[in-house]
């Protein structure tokens, strides 16, 4: 038996050495900064070779591993292929590290690459681990999860009656996947709710609209970014162009609520739109190649117009990079609630044509050196999501009094009831967005007239000297 274990030890050593060499030499390794369903970027490979691990592999531990491998192989109640046992071992190593490191099977690797293009099948939720259960980090805009009422912070207790306690992320994802149009029953634990909720979600193809925009009011724009895919920076720039076609922008709300993150380069590109140069984010890891700095180019698309960024507990990863950068350089007011706190970078290291390892290799830092990991972005102004109802009833005005004098001034078209009605609806349906718009308007009330305008006016009013 000992000789067989020794042979297995030698075999394992050869396999691990070959794998490590493949990781260090493969130029196709890619970095991601979000949780399991996020997209892939084109960052340089991170070396994970023996020199980064601090020495040779421990032969004694490999011998123990080989002995356990042999005992399972020889005595487990059912026969298991050696290749399956090796796969279990690799998964176990990665699951013991952190919630975002994972072994990607053929299906997992394909799914990860597919989400880069912004379309995949499933429920439309970003998930992570919370204790022994699975937590919803954020539902994706327009997904079946949103339609069914799932929320960021919900904890999944059961899937189709099967408890997820102790279940891996990959196992939960496999249960949630299925043919389009088929239902799945979720038992949900929700903060503030004493009893579990039973929610049925119908699986569908998830087509993610990365960026949406509209005017909240004349001269005040709204930019919603649902996630950060490869083209998000370009899409955000195009959305700004459409808003500019409506006229001058005096303020902009960037909505990053329930945005689970995505590609690192996209977060830098979005930040670049609103920063006039300077550091956006930098990363630090054990290996020199994981230490990078990302700078914005000169030129602010809004020319300094005020910005409010909305975040909440579902804002993670790339969302926190944007919010942290704009907060540190004083370019935006951050409003809402504390973000999720995922400040780590994952690198996808292919180990074959169909399988890969997603490994946490670095932490990222805001321009002022703040690490977001486990802390999140703290808003400048905390506004909890709430339902707001007016306590004011119909009040008597001067114009209601018998014989009151008519106004001598012409009616202002901006005083029409349509705008006030839309703002009232906004206040009732989305109090955080309403407060963001109110802040932008207030800031503009305090901004003095531009010096050029004042100079032009004084010149026009001053007669020319003979």
Please give the positions annotated as active site: 317, 328, 342
Report yes or no: 364 and 323 within 8 Å, Cβ to Cβ. Answer: no
């Amino acid at each position: 038996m000992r000789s067989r274990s020794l042979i297995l030890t030698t075999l394992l050593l050869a396999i691990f050495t070959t794998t490590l060499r493949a990781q260090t030499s493969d130029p196709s390794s890619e970095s991601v900064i979000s949780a399991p369903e996020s997209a892939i970027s084109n960052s340089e490979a991170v070396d994970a070779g023996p020199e980064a691990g601090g020495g040779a592999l421990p032969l004694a531990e490999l011998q123990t591993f080989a002995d356990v491998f042999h005992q399972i192989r020889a005595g487990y109640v059912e026969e298991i292929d050696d290749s399956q046992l090796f796969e279990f071992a690799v998964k176990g190593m990665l699951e013991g590290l952190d919630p975002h490191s994972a072994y990607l099977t053929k299906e997992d690797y394909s799914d990860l690459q597919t989400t880069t293009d912004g379309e995949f099948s499933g429920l439309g939720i970003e998930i992570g681990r919370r204790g022994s259960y699975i937590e919803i980090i954020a539902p994706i805009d327009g997904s079946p999860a949103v339609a069914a009422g799932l929320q960021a912070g919900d904890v999944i207790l059961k899937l189709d009656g099967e408890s997820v306690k102790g279940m891996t992320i990959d196992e939960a994802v496999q249960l949630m996947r299925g043919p389009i149009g088929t239902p799945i029953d979720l038992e949900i634990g929700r903060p503030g709710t004493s009893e579990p909720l039973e929610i049925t979600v119908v699986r569908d193809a998830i087509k993610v609209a990365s960026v949406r925009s509209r005017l909240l009011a004349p001269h005040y724009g709204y930019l919603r970014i649902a996630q950060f895919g490869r083209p998000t920076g370009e899409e955000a720039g195009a959305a700004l162009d459409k808003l500019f076609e409506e006229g001058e922008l005096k303020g902009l709300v960037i909505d990053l609520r329930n945005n689970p993150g995505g590609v690192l380069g996209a977060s830098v590109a979005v930040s670049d739109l609103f920063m006039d140069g300077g550091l956006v984010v930098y990363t630090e890891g054990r290996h020199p190649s994981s230490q990078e700095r990302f700078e914005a180019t000169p030129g602010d698309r809004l020319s300094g117009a005020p910005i409010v960024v909305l975040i909440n507990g579902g804002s993670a990863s790339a969302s926190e990079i944007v919010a942290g950068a704009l907060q540190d350089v004083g370019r935006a007011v951050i409003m809402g609630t504390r973000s999720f706190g995922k400040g780590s970078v994952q690198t996808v290291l292919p180990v074959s044509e169909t399988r890969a390892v997603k490994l946490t290799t670095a932490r990222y830092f805001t321009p002022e050196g703040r690490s977001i990991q486990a802390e999140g972005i703290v808003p400048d102004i905390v506004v909890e999501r709430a339902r707001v109802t007016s306590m004011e009833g119909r009040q008597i005005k001067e114009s209601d009094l018998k014989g009151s004098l008519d106004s001598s001034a012409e009616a202002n078209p901006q005083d029409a009831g349509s705008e006030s009605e839309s703002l009232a609806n906004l206040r009732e349906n989305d109090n955080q967005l309403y407060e963001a718009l109110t802040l932008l308007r207030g800031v503009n009330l305090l901004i003095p007239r531009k010096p050029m305008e004042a100079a032009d006016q004084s010149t026009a009013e001053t007669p020319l000297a003979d």
